[in-house]
């Protein structure tokens, strides 16, 4: 058992400290995701419309704050910035325990979203500064496995609160969430600091905003990340309203996804070694996601409860495979095409994808899939495939506009020739 656990953890030192910090705050994130809707409506006393509006505004502000906070990590130090943002997020979560008005909720939610997006950028900058380029994707895969293990633990904690379904239970869960970010801050302080960078006179303050190829790649990644609402929202709604599967199958989507990423992300990431293999991995992700959407579409037929449940598990497995392939390629692309002295702002920009998916995905995907039925699933799957196929040319365009690492350049030349 201990050897198996060791295989799931990155090497000792800075990578493992980063993993433990992410494990701590991902436990809080898992509990937050499971209980937040009921907490905000039953404890804070907001309407569902107020919760939706507040979170949409918060993630929009968080989206806008990602690049400036990433730039702060570059200029003032990624470790110190990460610690500060972890403490900021802890404060935001703790404030949810006492706010009982929409205005207070909105302020806390904005601070929470900004803290989360900035913390992600700062952690990525730390990883880029502490790990050799050839090892970044592999170590990032370890971190993602750790995150999913933490989310599973947090979801279990949230499930206990849902079982009791009273104010005390929800307050305890949010208290644990705040504590998890305090623990993460303490762990991040153990990580070595990395060099800061000085702005060159005449250089744009936020250079990433002038990097068109990288902006295109970030947009393509954001479109691919629309798979996230499929797992958390659209898939469950489809199961309950459009299939014969028992409602408990909803939980199987998250279980398959969490366990799949926890145990197989590192193995899948091993195939990504340069920009060429990263683009190929994203293409495979598009194929897997199209297949998953096609399988979801089949469940609209009258297959019987047991058969429908089995087909849905297959769909969840395909979607999880697509997620892991996408993540492996996207990490290599985001790191490999970012200037070494601007990793914070570049990771902050690339990392806005989840915020965009959270803002636009629910409304878009519920309209297309629940409104159009099986055809909607196929349309979404085709979107994933088309976007994934556009990533390769965009990577080659970006590589031509900058000096890429020596390992990546020959591979890209070979792919162009092919």
Give the DSSP letter string of 262-331.
Answer: HHHHHHHHTT--SHHHHHHHHHHHHHHHHHHHHHHHHTTS---HHHHHHHHHHHHHHHHHHHHHHHHHHH
If you average pLDDT over residues 394-400, what whole number do you get?
A: 94
pLDDT band at 404 (very low <50, low <70, confident <90, very high): very low
pLDDT band at 2 (very low <50, low <70, confident <90, very high): very low
Give yes or no for residue 4 having a pLDDT over 70: no
Q: Residues 330, 307: one domain?
A: yes
pLDDT band at 194 (very low <50, low <70, confident <90, very high): confident
Q: Residues 190, 142: one domain?
A: yes
Identify the domain containing residue 263 by its residue range. Answer: 210-418
Alpha-carbon torsion angle 312, 369, 51, 357, nearest 10? 90
Give yes or no for residue 21 having a pLDDT over 50: yes
Q: Residues 177, 237: one domain?
A: no
Give yes or no for residue 275 having a pLDDT over 80: yes
Q: Residues 19, 116: one domain?
A: yes
CATH code assigned at 155: 1.20.1250.20
If you average pLDDT over residues 317-345, what whole number do you get?
A: 92
Contact (Cβ atoms closer than 8 angstroms) between residue 239 and residue 249? yes
Give yes or no for residue 306 having a pLDDT over 70: yes
What is the pTM for the complete model shown? 0.81
Q: Residues 278, 164: one domain?
A: no
Last residue of a domain, one of 170, 196, 222: 196
* Count of the separate structural domains present in the chain: 2
Last residue of a domain, one of 196, 222, 253: 196
Q: Residues 120, 233: one domain?
A: no
Q: What is the mean pLDDT of the chain?
A: 87
Last residue of a domain, one of 196, 227, 251: 196
pLDDT band at 204 (very low <50, low <70, confident <90, very high): low
Give yes or no for residue 203 having a pLDDT over 80: no
Q: Residues 265, 168: one domain?
A: no
Among 59-73, 163-177, 222-236, 309-323, the range of highest mean pLDDT: 309-323
Among left, alpha and beta (phi > 0; psi -120 to 50; other), residue 45 is left
């Amino acid at each position: 058992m201990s050897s198996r656990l060791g295989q799931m953890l990155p090497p000792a030192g800075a990578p493992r400290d980063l993993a433990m910090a992410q494990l701590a705050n991902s436990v809080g994130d898992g509990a937050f995701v499971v209980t937040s809707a009921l907490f905000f409506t039953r404890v804070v006393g907001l309407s569902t419309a107020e919760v939706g509006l507040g979170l949409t505004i918060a993630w929009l502000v968080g989206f806008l704050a990602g690049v400036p906070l990433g730039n702060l990590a570059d200029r003032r130090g990624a470790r110190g910035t990460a610690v500060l943002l972890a403490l900021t997020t802890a404060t935001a979560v703790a404030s949810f325990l006492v706010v009982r008005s929409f205005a207070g909720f909105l302020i806390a939610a904005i601070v929470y979203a900004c803290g989360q997006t900035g913390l992600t950028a700062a952690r990525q900058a730390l990883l880029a500064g502490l790990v050799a380029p050839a090892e970044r994707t592999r170590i990032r895969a370890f971190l993602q496995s750790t995150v999913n293990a933490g989310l599973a633990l947090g979801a279990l904690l949230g499930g206990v609160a849902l079982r009791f379904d009273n104010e005390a239970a929800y307050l305890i869960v949010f208290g644990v969430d705040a504590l998890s970010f305090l623990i993460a801050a303490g762990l991040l302080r153990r990580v070595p600091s990395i060099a800061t960078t000085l702005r060159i006179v005449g250089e744009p303050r936020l250079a990433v905003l002038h990097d068109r190829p990288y902006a295109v790649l970030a947009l393509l990644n954001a479109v691919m990340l629309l798979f996230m609402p499929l797992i958390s929202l659209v898939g469950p709604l489809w199961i309950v309203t459009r299939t014969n599967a028992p409602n408990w199958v909803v939980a199987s989507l998250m279980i398959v996804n969490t366990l799949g990423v926890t145990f197989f992300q590192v193995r899948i990431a091993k195939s990504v070694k340069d920009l060429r293999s990263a683009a190929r991995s994203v293409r495979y992700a598009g194929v897997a996601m199209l297949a998953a959407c096609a399988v979801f579409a089949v469940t609209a037929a009258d297959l019987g409860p047991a058969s429908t449940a089995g087909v849905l598990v297959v769909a969840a497995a395909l979607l999880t495979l697509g997620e892991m392939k996408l993540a492996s390629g996207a990490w290599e692309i985001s790191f490999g095409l970012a200037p070494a002295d601007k990793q914070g702002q570049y990771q902050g920009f690339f990392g806005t994808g989840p915020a965009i998916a959270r803002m636009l995905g629910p409304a878009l995907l519920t309209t297309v899939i629940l409104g159009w039925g099986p055809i909607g699933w196929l349309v979404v799957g085709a979107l994933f495939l088309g976007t994934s196929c556009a990533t390769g040319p965009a990577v080659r365009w970006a590589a031509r506009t900058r000096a890429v690492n020596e390992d990546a350049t020959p591979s890209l030349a070979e792919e162009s020739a092919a």
